[in-house]
Amino acid sequence: DGMGNLRITEKGLKLEGDSEFLQPLYAKEIQSRPGNALYFKSARNVTVNILNEQTKVLTQLITGPKAVEAYGKKFEVKTVSGKLLFSADNNEVVVGAERLRVLGAEGTVFPKSIETPNVRADPFKELRLESPTRSLVMEAPKGVEINAEAGNMEATCRTELRLESKDGEIKLDAAKIKLPRLPHGSYTPTGTRQKVFEICVCANGRLFLSQAGTGSTCQINTSVCL
């Protein structure tokens, strides 16, 4: 019948209640009773090692009081049906879930770069791309598209905002185009004054407004271009 809580059966050894081993235990399989959970308890940590034929550690899992550490060539998390949810190796980290949600107040930090075909916010939420202390660069071999279907789009910076197209063109297509903060050139008191202005372009590319007259008044306001 065995010794107390230790019984010998056709399938191996059967332990009733809590068990404590003072020396290493070697077993092909350890399982709990049907319908009950299996617990491993330790005052320090629980370590699981996978060894090869030369007793060299291939993978290792350490659960300690401060952290859970896993060592191996690849780490994978899958659903019951076998769908990949998360994997990590030396080359890349893959998130296979339909959505990656970061709940931290500071968002997500990428020290280097991020590669993605689409960046969008949650429904009815704002999308903000911001670089507080450095520059923000968006590159794509076939173009970058910024689209706000149900709201405004705003781009702000502290010093200089540049729109540059090396081989193509820059097109402003809107029902209304406003340049509210263009500098105003001076006008001659004797000239014919109108309530409309003309947009003048300096040689350096700067734009300014000049009160329209019977002819072009850009020439008399060239001081704005200095």
Tokens 């340049």, residue located: 179
- The mean per-residue pLDDT over the stretch 49-74 comes to 91
**Count of alpha carbons within 13 Å of 11, Cβ hemisphere only?**
6
Query: What integer pLDDT is reported at residue 194 of this predicted model?
Result: 58
Q: The pTM is what?
A: 0.49
- The mean per-residue pLDDT over the stretch 210-218 comes to 79
Q: Is the pLDDT of residue 35 over 90?
A: no
Considering only residues 71 and 22, tell me which one the structure prediction assigns the higher pLDDT.
71
- The mean per-residue pLDDT over the stretch 155-182 comes to 82
Query: What integer pLDDT is reported at residue 139 of this predicted model?
Result: 80
> Do the strands 46-51 and 57-63 form a parallel or antiparallel pair, or are they unpaired?
antiparallel
Considering only residues 68 and 179, tell me which one the structure prediction assigns the higher pLDDT.
68
Query: What integer pLDDT is reported at residue 71 of this predicted model?
Result: 92
pLDDT in tens, 83-128: 999 999 999 999 998 888 888 887 777 888 888 888 888 777 888 8
From the CB of residue 185, how many other CB atoms can be counted at a distance below 10 Å? 20
